[in-house]
Amino acid sequence: MNAIETVEFLYAVDSSVADDSRFYEPPRVVRFRITRKTPKRIYYVRREDGLTTSTGFVDRQRIEADGEIYSRTRGWWAPDFHLYLSPPELEQATKPDLASLRAAMAAAHPDRGGTEAGFITARQRYEDARTKAQEITA
């Protein structure tokens, strides 16, 4: 009877960037199959396209100590530029509630009994949220 071999992976976030928003794809976690481990390196499959296989490697001691590693030989656009030992959590962008922030800013206004510092802080939160909302819809 053959023993079942455990398949291990390195993980990365593929955040495709396109100049045209019609082709936007949200970030997703991708897996790279580990093929071999030595005391100094972890080798993984970068790409398999039927005929050829591209492999890469990372410093085993650094990734096991930090849980993640950046590759000096990859461009920032490559999915395996930043690798993780365990699947990373993705932050999903949500639209901020501008109406409640606008109401909080109005309530903090000095003419309505608020302080100048409180109004400035509330206005900054509102402006930041409005900018973020515009980026999400763009």
Are residues 13 and 90 in contact, defined by beta-carbon separation less than 8 angstroms?
yes
Which residues sit opposite 48 in a β-bridge? 53
The H or E element containing residue 120 is helix 116-137
63, 83 contact by CB (below 8 A): yes
Q: Within the chain, where are the H helices?
A: 60-66, 98-107, 116-137
Q: What element of type H or E holds 135?
A: helix 116-137
Predicted confidence band of residue 97 (pLDDT cuts 50, 70, 90): confident
Euclidean distance between CA atoms 75 and 54, whole angstroms: 16
Q: Where do the structural domains in the chain lie, given as residue ranges?
A: 9-84, 98-137
pLDDT 10s digits, 39-93: 999 999 988 776 777 889 999 999 999 999 998 888 888 888 999 999 998 876 6
